[in-house]
Structure formats: structure tokens, C-alpha cells
Amino acid sequence: MATTRAGGRHGKPWRAAGAAVVVLLAMVGAGLVGASLKTAPAPRPPQPLAQAEPDVTGPAVADTDPDTAGDPAPARTGLPPSVPTKITIPRIGVDASVMSLGTNPDGTVEVPPLDQAQLAGWYSKGVSPGEVGNAVIVGHVDSAKLGPAVFFSLGATQPGDAVTVTRTDGRQVTFTIDAVKSYPKDAFPTELVYGPNERPGLRVVTCGGVFDSAAGSYPDNVVVFATLTE
């Protein structure tokens, strides 16, 4: 698809993390704009209860077994690369196609076009879902044309919920949500989203908070942290 800056109600772009990319995550979703807000109040997306840095970056570590305390940790294995094509989150009724996204010339991450706000986007410069590391899928919270978008209800997900991603190799990989958190955009947890992970992880990101009509943007990001279900 053609490259596009983050738009809609969000004026600030967000940069992808990577070995050679400076990170400046400022937004993901797009919103209801202009006349739409003047004629009717916009619905507010549900927000996660947690508003601070997550307590977990992966599944909880079990108590050490004294019989195996000196044994080396087992190697973490994942699936080979494969492009994701669909994401399903039963808790909030998401069953959406996934497009591949890259970065714009200025280093900002592409987002799905606003006229396709019901699609999710996979950050293709990272790992694919099921590989060791953190796969990142982003999506709009709403749009002026369509109203509530693909991840409008992302903040209503809960730890223990399932997220399933279908890949082009035919595999369906299921992740269990560890935490759902909201962050101010100027305190985005870059390392927890794009940083290394010894296990296959998934991060799902959209906008959150109460839309600021003066600023033309949402103030927060909602982030789902999930780990491949074993």
C-alpha cells in the first residue's frame, strides 16, 4: 500500500523501533473529526483499568523446582516467519484481516488507510506472530467515515483472554493476554513493545483516553501484552 502518515484526529506520527530506528511512538488510532463531533458526541472507547507500566513482560515465572535448580533453562523455540492475515479476539468481537505495514521515509510507522479502518496492520519490519520476539499489530480506534474501528474495544480485553492470528502458512497461533495497559503517548513503553523477548510475544496497540478536540488527538495508547499459548 502507499505510505501514509498517521492522520485523522492525530497530528503526531509515531516511529518504529528497530536496531537503526529512533523510536517516537505518538499514536496509532484515528478518530472522529470535524463536523462529526459538532453534530453528535463521539462514543468513548472502553479503557483498561491499569494506567501504569505493566507488571509483566511475559508469563509469570513458576517457583523453582529444587530437583532441577541447577539445570540450564530450556531453549525457547518459535515458528518460522510467516505473514499474518487475520486477527481474532473473541472477547471484543474482533475478526479482522491484517495488512502488512512498513515505515514511511521519515521513519514513522505506516497505519491502515482511514477508509479501511476495520483492518489491522502488522509491523512487517519486526517478527511475525509465532516467532521468538514481539510481533506488533496496530489498528485504529475509530474514524470519521466509519465510526468505531477495528480496535475500538481493545481496552475491554482482560488478562487470560485469547488472541488468535492466522498466518499465510496456514497455522493459527493463539496468544494469551498477560496485561492490558494504558500509557500517555509521551511515556510509551517502547522497550516492552518493540524490545527483545525470549519467547514468542504479541503486542496489540491502538489509541486511548478521552479524545482531546482542541489537540485533535487521543492522549494515550492502549497496549495489549500477550504470550504464545503453550
Residue 57 lies in a domain: no
Q: How far apart are CA 126 and CA 1, in angstroms?
A: 18
Residue 8 lies in a domain: no
Residue 111 lies in a domain: yes
Q: Are strands 200-208 and 220-228 parallel, antiparallel or unpaired?
A: antiparallel
Q: How far apart are CA 70 and CA 19, in angstroms?
A: 34
- Whether pLDDT at 146 is above 90: no
Q: How far apart are CA 216 and CA 194, in angstroms?
A: 26
Residues linked to residue 223 through DSSP beta bridges, in sequence order: 181, 205
Residue 45 lies in a domain: yes
Confidence of residue 170 (pLDDT cuts 50, 70, 90): very high
Confidence of residue 143 (pLDDT cuts 50, 70, 90): confident
Residue 4 lies in a domain: no
Residue 24 lies in a domain: no
State the pLDDT at residue 104. Answer: 84
State the pLDDT at residue 51. Answer: 53
Confidence of residue 212 (pLDDT cuts 50, 70, 90): confident
Asked if 179 and 113 count as a contact pair (C-beta separation under 8 A), the reply is no
User: In the 3-class helix/strand/coil scheme, how is the chain assigned residue by residue?
Assistant: CCCCCCCCCCCCCCECCECCECCCCCCCCECCCCHHHHHCCCCCCCCCCECCCCCCCCCCCCCCCHHHCCCCCCCCCCCCCCCEEEEEEHHHCEEEEEEEECECCCCEECCCCHHHCCCEEEECCCCCECECEEEEEECCCEECCCEECCCCCHHHCCCCCEEEEEECCCCEEEEEEEEEEEEEHHHCCHHHHHCCCCCEEEEEEEEECCCECCCCECCEEEEEEEEECC
Residue 20 lies in a domain: no
> What are the pLDDT digits (tens) for 181-198?
999 999 999 899 999 999
State the pLDDT at residue 109. Answer: 79
Please return the burial class of 87, using the count of CB atoms within 10 Å of its CB with bins 0-12, 13-18 and 19+. Answer: buried
Domain with 125 in it: 35-50+79-228
State the pLDDT at residue 177. Answer: 98
Rounded average pLDDT over 93-117? 91
Please give the tally of structural domains in the chain: 1
- Whether pLDDT at 80 is above 80: yes
Please return the burial class of 18, using the count of CB atoms within 10 Å of its CB with bins 0-12, 13-18 and 19+. Answer: middle
> What are the pLDDT digits (tens) for 10-36?
433 333 444 333 333 333 333 322 222
CATH assignment of the domain containing 189: 2.40.260.10
